[in-house]
A and B are shown apart, each in its own frame.
Chain A
Amino acid sequence: MLAQVVTILLDGLNYASFLFIVSVGLTIVFGVLKILNVAHGAFYAWGAYAAAFSITQAGELGYPDWIGFLLIFASSIIVGLVLGTILERLVLSRMYAQDEVLIALATFGVFLCLEDAILLVFGVDPYFAYQPMAVLGNVVIGGVFRDVYSLTLFALALVVAVSCWWVLTKTKWGKLIAVVIYDREISQAMGINVSAVYLIVFIIGAALGALGGAYVAPTTSVAPGFGIDVIVLSFAVVVIGGMGSIPGALIGSILVGVLRAVAVHQFPELELFVVFAVMAGVLIVRPEGLFAPPKARTI
């Protein structure tokens, strides 16, 4: 009994941490740029592929296994920087005046492109980058056997959450972003380089998406179609918490993570159902989400 509760709890937290890292990027981008980025799922997949590829390469070249951790972060940053810049400059920066749903559709187009670009670059065969997981070994918690690697995911999520909170509330940068969110035109008139803020925020969002994929890569096989499920799941998280809210993404991830863990262990046929039922429920009862950021008056 206890073992089962511990398992569910650990699974739930593990899944929640993973969801948080992926969705926090999505929610930041929505909050600042007002864009629902479907291509976020592709950043996630690219991060996973880039990490898995470099880790297996490093393994073949005889580098020590712990180098994988560096590669995970390096690949997320590179993926975020390269793909984020390309997408923001080439596609999004030309669309900010358009309808938000149409922009979302354009990012769907980008998603399709990036999905296949992965296959062109990395091939169709799956990757197994187990090395970082092997380095850390296993541990027993409350009678439950666990790999240490998935526990570090929890720490990583914590670090991401704290640094987001710190940047947004304690730094000049955070204030700048708050101003841009509140009124884009006035910020522009005040001499803030809104275009640069958008680009940087988008790159950070993309890098966080990639980090989610890169960090998960060692725990599973990285194969085609890696980003498809993640995108709707992170949509669910972001909608539940409130689109654009970071505490919302945190609560949303924990809720979805734990619910899913309970479902997987107790009612396996409800695994996906429960996530989206909660998403629909939240949209019906509180469309702005549980933690909606304040909105400027429109009328």
Chain B
Amino acid sequence: MNQILKNDATIRWAVLGFFVLAVAGYFMEAWVQNNIMFGLARGLAVLGLMVLWRTGLISFGHALYFGIGAYVVGLVDRNFGISDIFLRLFLAVGASAFVGFFLGFILRKYRGIFFAMLNLAFSMVLYGILVKVESLGSTDGFSVSQTTILGWTPENKYALFAAIVFVCAVGAILVQCYLKTALGTLTTAIRDNELRVEYLGFSVARAIHLKYIMSAGLAGASGALLAMALGQVDPDSMVNWPVSGELVFITVMAGPGSVIAPFLGGVAFEFLRTYAFELAPEAWQLIVGATLLGIIFFLPMGLWSLLERIWKRRGVSS
């Protein structure tokens, strides 16, 4: 584990990149700061989906864990006045990973379209509950009070921004370490050939279960951060099926190439949406949808592969 931490180039770049971003954020306009904050928060969920995707699984229902994370933050705030970012995160991740642990026993047997659909069904069950239960705010949801950081109440949004950058950096590094272990290499191995993995003596179901819990926890953290960044939770923008669709969209847009890609994808998505909305308020979805199609057709390995290509070309010419 230590070996991996010391020698991995991706981790070095991630640390550098997130550090630069945290500093740069201080000088950004509010709307840019917000967009990046939302994008990074979504990126955490996408990171988990990327691990599943590398294993050959796509979930159309991770809004379930996203929503659990967000609503846990809202509920512990409303009922117990818990406002600390790390305490909120811990509870949100715990709750979503816990649910992921239980549902994982069922889902680890499913593949392909059935995996996608069963996840969708579970997420819609939660949605069905949330929109009807008055005490959970039904369709309107409820607001989340300001986030504090280790007992300190920041005066502007920058503190939250920096904290989110920090959390995302930690998430990226942990997942990178995981992917570099033998357990982590089981992603591609399972996607390529489950039969062989079984015959090598490892339970595919167990490996998938573990990844599923991980993706659930990450989606929970993602929802929690977004709830804090928005100061609000509601079922339609956090649990309904288009939220799951959006997360999968960002996963494909970012590409499976690197643990940094999901955050890049998340931020890119946020800006795409903002600009599309500015350009054509009534047709922003059209632009977003067309982008998705374009990426599926022309950039199947996502934005990250584009960066890699540019990177390599530079390396050759210099």
Contacts and interface: CB of A to CB of B under 8 A. Distances in A.
Contact of B113 (A101, A232, A275): A101
A268 interface: yes
B285 A112 contact: yes
B87 interface: no
Nearest to B245: A108
A100 B112 contact: yes
Given A113-B285, A228-B242, A91 B125 contact: no
B127 interface: yes
Interface residues of B, number: 41
A142 B58 CA distance: 49
Contact of B132 (A120, A228, A270, A276): A270
Interface stretch (B3-11, B114-122, B208-216): B114-122
Interface stretch (A20-28, A50-58, A143-151, A279-287): A279-287
A115 B292 CA distance: 14
B285 A116 contact: yes
Contacts of B293: 91, 106, 109-110, 113
A180 B306 CA distance: 38
A280 B64 CA distance: 13
A209 B251 CA distance: 29
Contact of A109 (B112, B114, B283, B289): B289
B301 interface: no
Interface string B164-184: 000000000000000000000
Nearest to A279: B121
Interface stretch (A181-189, A196-204, A235-243): A235-243
B286 A100 contact: no
B132 A273 contact: yes
Contact of B292 (A95, A109, A231, A287): A109
Contacts of A36: 113, 116-117
Contacts, number: 132
B71 to A, nearest CB: 16
B279 to A, nearest CB: 12
Interface in A255-299: 268-277, 279-280, 283-284, 287
B289 A272 contact: no
B296 A102 contact: yes
Interface string A153-193: 00000000000000000000000000000000000000000
Interface string B283-312: 111101111110011000000000000000
B19 interface: no
A105 B58 contact: yes
B158 interface: no
B21 interface: no
A111 B296 CA distance: 15
A271 B132 contact: yes
A271 B241 contact: no
Contacts of A268: 132
Contacts of A111: 289
A280 B121 contact: yes
A119 B292 contact: no
Contact of B286 (A94, A116, A124, A239): A116
A86 interface: no
A117 interface: yes
Nearest to B291: A109
Interface of B: 58, 60, 106, 110, 112-114, 116-118, 120-122, 124-125, 127-129, 131-133, 240-242, 245, 248-249, 252, 282-286, 288-293, 296-297
23 contacts: A36-B117, A38-B245, A94-B297, A100-B112, A101-B58, A105-B252, A109-B289, A109-B292, A113-B290, A115-B285, A116-B283, A116-B285, A120-B282, A120-B283, A124-B282, A235-B117, A268-B132, A271-B128, A272-B131, A272-B132, A276-B124, A279-B124, A284-B106
